[in-house]
Amino acid sequence: MPPRISNPLDASKIDVAILCGGLGTRLKNVINDRPKSMAEINGTPFLDLLIDHIAKFGFKHFILCTGHMGETIENRYAGKKPAINIEISREIQPLGTGGALKNGSQLITSNPFLVVNGDSFCAVDLKIWQGV
């Protein structure tokens, strides 16, 4: 059993930055018409699966840090998920992990905030943040 947090956090007030701007060079032979975070799993973009998983723990504000082929992500998420707030931070030139996060920092208003990679899935129970 995880330790209880003495000061539980409200997930709805914690921003989630998703890094989804990479070039996807290792996947270019498989998907070259979209960013790797938009690779389909049984007909659903991976990024949908990731956002839905995190949102089920009560997180409501997502910042998608896009770059390469970012317009694909922007077109997909512009006003599409009304139960949550999705904002886009697009880098014009590749900035790397830290640069992408710094580029999106004006949209991150919570302290702490959660950062995840847009091409990785870890089935982590995010309720631990809430102390339950």
The pLDDT profile of the chain, 132 residues, written as one tens digit per residue, is 454 545 668 899 999 999 987 655 565 666 767 788 888 889 999 999 999 999 999 999 999 999 888 888 898 888 776 789 999 998 877 777 777 888 889 999 999 999 999 988 888 888 765 554
Q: Is the whole-model pTM more than 0.75?
A: yes
With helix as H, strand as E and coil as C, how does 19-86 read? EECCCCHHHCCCCCCCCHHHCEECCEEHHHHHHHHHHCCCCCEEEEEECCCHHHHHHHHCCCCCCCEE
The three-state secondary structure class of 89 is: strand
- Is 77:86 a contact under the CB 8 Å cutoff? yes
* Architecture per CATH, 11-130: Alpha-Beta Complex (3.90)
Residue 46: alpha-carbon gap to chain centroid: 11
Q: Give the domain ranges of the chain.
A: 11-130
